Amino acid sequence: MPIYEYRCEKCGHTSDKFVRSMSSVVEVECPECHSTDCKKAISLFGTASSSHSSSLGASSCAPSGG
């Protein structure tokens, strides 16, 4: 079951939503202001491939030099 991230165009709040299938039409309501003007946001988690995630270990966050 895919998880999509949505951003409210009215207040800017972001939220996640489980979707039954990728082709489902889903109406999303903002949990903060209850607006239905929500757009699907690009989620880095959803677009990252497993081959790249293994190269993003803790060492990439460590300071360099020194």
Whether residue 61 has pLDDT greater than 80: no
Residue 53 has a pLDDT of 47
**Residue with the larger pLDDT of the pair 30 and 57:** 30
12-49 residue pLDDT tens: 999 988 877 767 677 889 999 999 999 988 766 555 55
Task: Please report, for residues 7, 22, 28, 33, 34, the alpha-carbon distance to residue 13 in angstroms, rounded to integers and kept in the order given.
Answer: 6, 23, 12, 9, 10
Buried b / exposed e over 16-37, threshold 16 CB at 10 Å, is ebeeeeeeeeeebebeeeeeee
Taken in order of first residue, the domains within the chain and their CATH numbers are: 3-46 (2.20.28)
The residue to which tokens 């497993």 are assigned = 50
**Residue with the larger pLDDT of the pair 28 and 60:** 28
**Residue with the larger pLDDT of the pair 55 and 39:** 39
